[in-house]
Structure 1
Amino acid sequence: MTNQSFAHDVVAWAKQRLDEIDAMIAQAEKSADELKESARTEADQALSRLRVSRAKLEGQLEDLRTQAEAAKSSASQAQQALEDEWVEAESAFQAFLTSTGEQTEIARNAIAARAEAQRKSWESALNDLHAQVTTAVEKAGEEFDAAIGRLSTEAEKAKAKIGQASSAGDETWQAIKTGLSEAKAVHEKTIKKIAEALSKAF
């Protein structure tokens, strides 16, 4: 996985967490008035912590975006330097061809050697790309099918547990929360595997 795709994945993960926190804050604010006085104080403290955590997460996300932009800019500058140097190399090669004057055999051999090197390079690149794509697509397909199967299973379990939540006692509620946490962990792991498999394919 490239640094750029890794940064993209982390940004996507952080945006998902921000969406979750926003939903939690909105629901907590909506429910706060219904709490008894003693519970209200604790809930307000927890809500305050949640808001602080959200602000920090958003700040860290902005830092990551800035770093990703800087890395992209640095890569663009390096690419520009390579392209500039290639212009110089091309100019030097043309000057060499010009210097051969009437000795056309020398120029012809130089051009033929260059064309052969380009052909080999392109052929090698195409063969490598074909092998990578074939392997990656096969593996991505297998991982995707397996991941979707696991995700569907966990989604059904989570749906069933959420349905039980309204009538649950304390002990059952704790078990449901644990189950939902486990389902969320499996979901995140599965989504990550799918993203990795697809990034390898492309």
Structure 2
Amino acid sequence: MKVVGGQQDDLASKTKTKKSSEASDEAGATISAAIQGIRTVHAFGMEKVVADEYALLLEKNASIEKKAACASGAALGYGQGAPMMFYAFLFWFGAFLIAEGDVTFEAMMSSLFALMTSAFGMADGAQLAGDQAAAKAAAKEVFALIDDTSDNEPKGGQIPKQCQGTVRFQGVRFAYPERPDVLVYDGFNLSVGAGQTVALCGPSGGGKSTCMALLLGFYRPLAGS
């Protein structure tokens, strides 16, 4: 019976871990986007809207945690209370058998403690079920990230014997996947010679960081090279 309680706690923990992780990720993405674009948020007076949306997501997560806590508490209470009820039944039944002369007191106690020691050993292992469920959920996300492949991985390439160290953009057209209709570069040309220092200046969203992102291979241009 105590093992059953541990299994129920395991099930509750698995459900909570997955749903809570999704809710936390959504809340984290919301506040992260708001902080990154804090100037835009402030310019349009959206501070309260963003704060209310973030609070709503936190309440959603709190609701999930509360339900999981109730389920886990019920499973723990059952797991702790069931052995006591089982003890009571065994002592009553053992007393009945002793009164009938079917067993001796020593035999009854030996059987009782052998049985309960085995049961508690299994129950101690079941108590780790909650941690095991959380670890499995975390491992699934970690391995999904490790196994993820990028669409920007080069399909081929060359290994030159000598490099001049020149960086050159030729007719580059580029838009971020999240905003395909907004061109950051439209026929962008730039040549930086070896040892040359170039400063990119411009307003936010002008494409300064995009230049480095393309150089590092984080994205592929729509056209150009």
When the two structures are superposed, what TM-score results if normalisation uses the length of structure 1?
Answer: 0.47
When the two structures are superposed, what TM-score results if normalisation uses the length of structure 2?
Answer: 0.43
- Considering only CA atoms, is the larger Rg found in Structure 1 or Structure 2? 2
Larger fraction in strand: 2
